[in-house]
Amino acid sequence: MEITGRLIKKLPQQSGTSTKGEWKKQEFIIETQENFPKKICMNVWGAEKVDELAGYGEGENLKISVNIESREFNQRWYTDVRAWKVERLSEGGQEQAKPRTAGQSEITDPFSSDGGEDDLPF
């Protein structure tokens, strides 16, 4: 699932040690850009993702790919919105174009109309 919005706030980093080793996590708040904006608390796990989040400033427009998962504990449900990919959006709300590497060509749509006759196959 993808969510776009403005980064409102980054909460303090959390870290600790478990049986699997050390872990790092950081939560952040996004405000969606809709008719009725919503604030969503998301999190990133792992040192690499936490460091990546540090590169974004409050007020920036982002596109976040997330997994949403709920779990039950003592007859209460808790929902986790975990971001696995964060991308900066340009001023117009579109993803910033990534530079093309050598050897890549523009992909054309084989089904687009190229100005020829509009023949039906039947």
Q: For 7-50, how does the pLDDT look when each residue is reduced to its tens digit (9 = 90+)?
A: 999 999 999 998 889 999 999 999 999 999 999 999 999 999 99
**Beta partners for residue 70, in sequence order:** 79
More confident residue, 13 or 97: 13
Q: Is residue 98 part of a domain?
A: no
Considering its fold, how many domains does the chain have in total?
Answer: 1
What CATH number is attached to the domain comprising 43?
A: 2.40.50.140
Which pLDDT score, from 0 to 100, does residue 95 have? Answer: 56
Question: Exposed, middle or buried by CB within 10 Å (0-12, 13-18, 19+), for 118?
Answer: exposed
Residue 95 lies in a domain: no
Residue type, 29: I
Residue 111 included in any domain: no
Residue 91's pLDDT band (boundaries 50, 70, 90)? low
Q: Is 118 among the domain residues?
A: no
Q: Report the alpha-carbon distance of residue 29 to residue 43 in Å, rounded.
A: 9
Residue 71 within a domain: yes
Name 45's Cβ contacts closer than 8 Å, sequence gap at least 6: 23, 24, 25, 82
Tell me the HSE value of 8 on the side-chain side, using a 13 A CA sphere. 15
**Domain limits for position 36:** 2-88
